[in-house]
Structure 1
Amino acid sequence: MPMKLQLPPGAKLELALPWVPKLELALPWVPKLELGNQ
């Protein structure tokens, strides 16, 4: 079961883009995506 199938596009970006976590500070919807993943 590849986790990628369970993760939204934003989550996939986190694996490839090191600056995505930084966006969490500026974008209110990023934490919401993480809650959806869990």
Structure 2
Amino acid sequence: MFLPTLSFLITNFENQILSYTNIRSSHVVFCLCRNSHNE
């Protein structure tokens, strides 16, 4: 009973990290694109 819950929590935690990282990286790319267009 405990192990499946633990693995689910770990998977959910990893998904949150991945989605957060994707948001950050896409934001950085967006800023870089804007800067290059402004020059």
Q: Flag whether TM exceeds 0.5 (same fold).
A: no
**Structure 1 length-normalised TM:** 0.30
Bigger relative CO (Cα 8 Å, ≥ 6 apart) = 1
Structure possessing the higher radius of gyration over alpha carbons: 2
